[in-house]
Structure 1
Amino acid sequence: MGILGSSMGLSYISLCFFFGKLSEKWHRKKILVLGSFVYVAASLFFSFSSQIYHLFLSMLLLGVAGAMFWPTLEAWIAEKESKRTLIQKMALFNISWSTGLAIGPLIGGILFGMNFKLPFYFAFFVSVFVLLILFYKTPKVSLATKSKSFTNKTFLSENPPDSFSLYIKISRMANFVLCLCTGMVWYIFPKLGTQLQISPSFLGLLMFILSFTRVLTFYGLGRVRLWHYRIFPLVFFQLIAAVGLIIIFIANSLPLFFLAFVFIGVGLGMTFSSSLFYSVNVTSQKGPSAAIHETVLMSGFLLGPLIGGAVAQEFSLRAPYPVVAAIVVVGIFTQLLLKRRYDLPGRS
């Protein structure tokens, strides 16, 4: 099952940059429509799977569809003319996919209780619905709009343009580490919770709280600009997540676990928002930049369970939490070092 689950992530990572680059040369709408079509095909394969290799093919198709869809969509939203600012558009985008990610498993669980194939039929109809919306209700983006120069409205801080690359690097680093932590928590904590005799309903609540606080963070960051191109907010939110990990390591009470998941959700919301915003707030090549953002975060989600599982198997189910908290701290020091080197006079 682990190999089956990772096959989707590996195909996603391997193709993200290719389709992100392709979206700079081809109309983004066409790639989104094709990606949605592949989602439809994957849902059909799931619905009629009877052999293990059918499931592998379905998961690979999901990875291909995601690689076509998400980087292209992020770049498309960023360049689309709108009354909203870029950060507001990105916040709405983040809230939308996060809400879907929370509701989807809930609906799938209910449908699975009726019939194990119903969730795949539901996914098929949703994919067809998205495909029809993209095909009939959305305008094309002309190639001429993909290389607009920055205007005064583009700059959301006083930092000079050459600082953009620095914040892209450190935000991606931060997001990779927090995605690694979150992937580990998703995989390891239910086993720890079972060992601690935490009820399944409270475990479900904790996972929901992690997603819900992430959504609230997306909303809050979409309303303010004080964090733009400043390293302190990024570092502070990562420290909050690290505290959450340490709480899980030492706590035995349900309220403390609740608080820990709030902290981790808030931290991930900040790093994800920063990485995506800085990645698409560029003059050109938004598709490849968004693709790198997606590749980095998926790599973190894949590595987290692997690292956490190895540490837990060697030591205990609590041992992964201080380990990944230490990784967060190392990441913070690395980001501060990069910022310090950038601020030194006479930098090249």
Structure 2
Amino acid sequence: MGYAGEDRVERTEVDLSPLVLATRLAPHWEARGQFGAGRETLEGVLDDGTGTDAERAAAHGAVAHLAMAQGDLRAAREANEMAIVLYEADGDIRAAAGRRHALAMVLLAAGDPIAAEAHCDAALAVMVAVGDARGEAFARSSRGLVLAARGRPGAGSDELLESLRAFRAIGAIGEAASVLANLGNLSWDMGDVARAARFHEGALQLFERLGDRRGAALCLNNLAVLAQMRGDADRAIELAQAALDAFRAAGDRHGEAAMHCNLGAMWEDGGATAEATASYQQAAARFDELGDPGRAAHARQQIAALRPPASELSPREQEVASLVAVGLGNREGVRSMASVTLV
């Protein structure tokens, strides 16, 4: 329900205002990991002050969704709250309830499950009252995650399973896949790695059936981590590489960059320093291209942590390390660095 309300605008593509057009493009930006570009565009047209309450509410909802994907919880909360106010002013209690469900997820991520539960309950009550089966299923899914966070994983699992049944009943395959993934994450948190893997494998099958490469990539990444937890390093790397390929095929550059970072960590855990360094370098370069200096810096910190302290290097190795530090790029320097084997 990240973009609830966008289907309410009854105009031809030719007549779309910049605000409505930008809102409709939000899923495109999300699928390609272009969260910042999408937010900048949406916030720019919102600043113009144009559009009806419903159109502006939908745009704020799209901003909230992209901000959440970025991890900007404050912006996601503020945008969701603004969308709720505008939908309620427009008299659309169903759309407002949809935003409450989204706000609950932001509050949960921010560490406030009590407030999150209140919004889930309010959203669920509205969806039941108006007979919106799809909205009710979304609300139950969110409530399941909140209950689990409040120390009631059994009740949370029951809500998620009820949500799964509801989505299957209305043929909402993509939503069912997302619930399966959430059940996998909950099982993971409860320490049942085998059950978590089964749920993620089920979600992967549905995402692949839909041709949802990004959803499949997320499942493959989770399965890679679970394989690593089981001690199957080779399978973990294989799944992580498949996740990287899926992110790349989906055009999700942010997911691709994050996956390079995850691969770096897996290679590092296996003692493959050269492969880890290469993966972290790829991650840093892509985060630079995406204008994400924080994550780029993190990737470079991981590279630096792979290098042994200078006191542990031989004089020749210290010389090579110095050349690297000053960015020596001539061919002889490269040859000398390649000839050194660190112990």
Q: Same fold (TM over 0.5)?
A: no
What is the TM-score normalised by the length of structure 2?
Answer: 0.28
Q: Specify the structure having the higher radius of gyration (Cα).
A: 2
Determine which structure has greater relative contact order: mean sequence separation of CA pairs < 8 Å that are 6+ residues apart, divided by chain length: 1
